[in-house]
Each structure stands twice: as structure tokens, then as C-alpha cells.
Amino acid sequence: MTPQFDFGMIGLGVMGSNLLLNLADNGFATTGYDLNPERMQALETAARPGTTVKGAASMEEMVLSLKKPRKLMMLVPAGNPVDSAINSLLPHLESGDILIDGGNSFYRDTLRRVAQLHEQGIHFFGMGISGGELGARLGPSMMPGGDREAYQFLKPLLEAVAAEADGKPCVAFMGKGAAGHYVKMVHNGIEYAMMQMISEVYDILHRGAGYTAEQLQALFQKWNDGPLQSFLIEITADVFRFRDTETKAWLVDMILDEAGSKGTGRWTTQEALNLPVAIPAIDAAVAARTLSGVRGQRQEAAKLFGQKTAAVNKAAALEAELESALFTGFICAYAQGLSMLAAASHEEGMDIPLPAVVQVWKGGCIIRSALLKQLEQAFAQNETLPNILLDKTVAGLVQEHESGLRNVLTQAIAAAVPVPALSASLAYLDSYRSERLPTNLVQAQRDYFGAHTYKRTDREGVFHTEWHEGPDEQPEP
């Protein structure tokens, strides 16, 4: 068989098909394989006239039809399906071929697969993709990580189909090993936090202040025209436009309050603890989804404790303060995620380029926002910035808006409206900029019950006190 295709895809669901069609629209010859033959037929039918898109009769046929070095991607569910697809492909691959896992795989699984395929001379990439099915078709944000030398063969294809922001493609080499999937994992953690904060503001306005869907839609649309401009604010405004076709009630009010998840938020929390890096707003967002899942217990508790939600004061300042609260919370979410990437890049030896990460997130992805331009400028000043809160301009923005967050939290707490992610953001901010924290007492307690020792403020060394002897029995200092 004469090789004729530039790129192949295993898994022709919505994402896989749309990426292939996107590549074809940009002049690349593409082929795909799926266990479901109807998907391959649908792929060919959806191709635009003049493009080259073909379904393959078998995995072997697809591989043999690719130009060398062969470039192909898997878009199958994370976990065992990825390993099964790799095992099916291996007999047909050769040294120098490039295989991409474009799903949301756990980065430690990706590390294992990189090592496994390296032994056979195959370049394995873990690549995060953000933007959903529409992004895949029109321009996603992509985060590939793996072998830098092999990336040169992928770069022209990926840059051709990626979203653009400020004239630059929203795809870049994210670093060594499993860097691509690690960056996507943290991206999703930030996404969790931002979505949770938006839902908390919605709760304050709707349940606390009695805002209608029409009022909410107008307000979020207004916010999207200002400093909060972002994909998530934009789609939130759109959500409030929809009525349920059956009941004619606002659709958002008919949706059950149980949030699903695919594990990436939980992985972010777990891996941050392993580093360790503090990401309390992301942790709170993960916990909030978990709490949403015990709906039966919540209903029982509501009966036991009574619904205590009070009215929130609909003062003229409320909307402006909520806007500032979200703005500050978004900065804290980005700060926590990017600080995690900075730490992981060093600890895991991934060499993640943070300025490139910010550029990739500026377009096509779920967490894109106008704020990222400011973060880009911060990294332009210092590429190795460990936390964006250390940038003077970012710090100035926080100082300008933080009073709104404090006032909002005061009202929400008084009204018994839960605000876990916004609260965690303020606690993180106050803790991070505190020259002295009360953990000196924690160290004293640890030394008291476990002889864990402590350091002193006035001299070098490690110390232990025999606390059980009592203060009067201690030797003179």
C-alpha cells in the first residue's frame, strides 16, 4: 500500500472526527478507524468537498496508509481502553512513529506508556485538548508533551488546526514526559475552581437576592463585556436564556443540583498534596462537587436543621462587589494552578514553559479569559515566577478588587449561602501574603505530643522541649 495520509485517528467519536475534519480543512490528508463502522461512514460524509478524509477498514490498513514518520492519535476513554488501543497498534508500528494520546489520561499512566514505547523507538505524546467538540472542529487549545525532537513533525499540523490568540497559535510544546497531560490536569483543576465560584455568585444573586433569570442573564452579559470577559462568564449568560420546552420554566431551575466529574479535578488535588503545593480554591471546588452528590443526605439535613438562608441585601454596590469577588477569585485560581505547574516542572523534571502555557490557554480552551493577557505580561517580566501574586501589577489588581470579595463573603456567610471556593480564595490570599502565620503554635503542639522538634526565629538549628516537665522545670535559656 502506498502511504498517502498525513495523520490518522483511533476513535471517531465527536472529538476525534472533528479534529480530523479540522485537519482536512487545513489541507492535510486524514484517515481514521473506529470499532463502529457507522462512525467511519459518518466521518466521510461530513467531509467538505475537496478535502481528503477516509475511514479505514482496519487498524493495520490505517497505519500502513500513513506517511513516515507516521503520526496518529488515540481519542478513546482514559484507562484500560488506551492500553488496549496501544497493544492493538504495536504490531503495526515502527521505530520513529509518533503516537498521541489525546484523552484525559492520568499523567502517571502517560509516564508509564512513554517508557514502554520508548523501548521500541516509538515517540509517545500525552496531549491535553480543551475547547469541547466545537473547539475541536474550529480551533482547540492543545497541550502536547513528550519528545521535543519528535514534536517538530507534529508542530505544522497542530498549529494549523489550533485556535489563535493575538496572532499566535494556542498550541505549544509543554515539556518532557507527561507534561502535556499534567498541564491539562491542572487546567481542569482551575476550571473546577472558576465554575464553582461562578455558581456561588449565582447562588448569592438568585437564592439570596432573588434575581430572576432575565436579571442574571443581563448581569453576566454585562460582566462579560468588562474585566471578567471569559468563556465561562459568556456561556453562563447564555444558560440563563433557555426555558424548558415542557414546563416553560427556566431550564437552569429544572436541572438537578448534582455535578458530575471525570476525575481530573480530584487528580489535581491529590497531586498538589504530593508536591506539596497549596491549591485550596481548587480543593474546595472538588469537595463542593462531592457534596452535591450526596443529595439525599442534604435533603435530610435540610429538614433536621431547617432552611436558614436569609435575604442578601440588594444594595446598589452588590453587583460591583460580586464582580470584584469573581475577579479576585479567578486570579487566585490561576495563581494556585500555575504555582502547581511551576513546582511540578521542577520536581518532576518536566521543564514546563509557563509563558507558553498561558499563551495556549488564551484561546480555544474552557478557562480562556481577558485576565490571561495580564498573566502573560507577568511571565514576560519573569519566566520563572513561582506565583503570579508576586508580580507587582497582578498584586495591584488584587488590592484594587479584594474589598469586594471581603464584603461579598461577609454577606454570604450572614445569609447562610455556602461560598467554599470564594472563601478559600480569600484565605489563600491572606495566608500567602502573611509574613507570619500561626503555624508556630502548630509546631509547638507537634513537638509536645510527638517530639517532632521545631526551629527558632532567633537562632539556627533544630530544637525540642520536654513539655511534660512543666515550664518551671525547664532549664534557664
Name the amino acid, one letter, at 86. I
Tell me whether the omega of the peptide bond preceding residue 69 falls within 30 degrees of 0, making it cis. yes
- Beta carbons of 141 and 358 less than 8 angstroms apart: no
| DSSP per-residue codes, 307-338 | --PPPPP--THHHHHHHHHHHHHHHHHHHHHH
Question: How many Cα atoms within 13 Å fall on the side-chain side of residue 48?
Answer: 12
Query: CA–CA separation, 353 vs 286, rounded Å?
Result: 26
What lies within 8 Å, CB to CB, of 275 at 6+ separation is 340, 343, 344, 347
Which SS3 state, helix, strand or coil, does residue 386 take?
A: coil
Annotated active-site residue 184? The verdict is: yes
**C-alpha triplet 11, 12, 16: angle, nearest 5°:** 90
Name the catalytic one among 184, 321, 348, 376: 184
> How many helices (H) and strands (E) in the chain?
20, 9
By C-alpha distance, which of 284, 257, 327 is closest to 421? 284
Give, in order, the Cα–Cα distances in Å from 430 to each of 68, 99, 201, 273, 425: 55, 45, 21, 20, 9
Known catalytic residue at 200: no
Among 274, 399, 393, 387, which Cα is nearest to 337's?
387
Report which of 274, 256, 258 is spatially closest to residue 266, judged by C-alpha positions: 274
| 8 A C-beta contact, residue 289 and residue 421 | no
- Nearby residues of 17 by Cβ (< 8 Å), 6 or more positions away: 9, 32, 39, 42, 43, 46
Our measurement of the distance from residue 209's CA atom to the centroid of its chain's CA atoms, rounded to an integer in Å, reads 30
| DSSP, res 2 | -
Q: Name the active-site residue from 191, 200, 321, 402.
A: 191
Q: Which residues does the annotation mark as catalytic?
A: 184, 191
